[in-house]
Amino acid sequence: MDVLVHGEFERNDMVEYFGENFGGFRFTDNGWVQSYGTRGVKPPIIWGDVVRTKPITVAETVFAQSQTDHLVKGMLTGPVTIYNWSFPREDLSQKTSVEQIALALEDEVLDLEKHGIKIIQIDEPALRENLPLRKKDWYPKYLDWAVPAFRLVASKVKPETQIHTHMCYSQFGDIIKAIDNLDADVISFEAARSDFSLLDILKATHFQTHVGPGVYDIHSPRIPSKDEIVHIIHEILKRLPADHVWINPDCGLKTRDVPETKASLINMVAAAKQVRKELTHENQPVL
């Protein structure tokens, strides 16, 4: 593995956890809603101005980095997703509330950077979910402020700090321009269960952001073989240049147990090494 994460063992849900640690949020005791399958979440209620009152992820991330020579990614939930998966205030515009969340997250990003974290991921799986019904309104009434809110979170980092984002649960082919405009260095996304149609769109639109298409489905207990993953990587490289591609699972591994996770990751790493060897032999750029 080239880049690690600390595992997020201290977190209950990717939105609830940040809401618990920001000022301006409240929670119900039993206000559960279904996320997917058997997974439920308690959406927070935004009742006041959102502020960060203390570091949230810094201690765990920095400790994890101290235990390895590999790079460890800081992992944050993006401002648009936190807003879209919460019950919002009705006395403020969406834009204003999301900007408040973005500024709170910006403080966290700068603290992570100050403590030596060189890669920071800002997840936005819900970016698409509040699009207006009319396509002509997508940009003027939503994306024209949602995209800058994401950029605001990482607007003060050093050029050498790498910003990642991750998207899942939605179809993103029709907002590719907006995703490229997020100005992230790398975007990872679900791809293992698709027919690679999104990759075809990325190729056709000359997508500039480096990408990490998921090479195996984390929602299934099935362990993919090395050869399966090699095949998927080859399909990806038919569409995208190797030096723009990261190899990663579809999504986080929270729903998988340790034996499944280790076996799948071992096969994924072996597949990546095999394809890298093939590319080196052919004098092509490597993954």
Residue 219 known to be catalytic: yes
The one-letter amino acid code at 265 reads L
Structure tokens at 199: 């990759």
Contact 88, 50 (CB under 8 A): no
> Rounded distance, CA 72 to CA 67, Å?
10
Q: Which of 6, 164, 166, 219 is catalytic?
A: 219
Residue 230 has phi, psi (to 5 degrees) of -60, -45
Contact 111, 156 (CB under 8 A): no
Q: How many CB atoms lie within 10 A of CB 258?
A: 8
Structure tokens at 195: 């027919």
What residues are labeled active site?
219
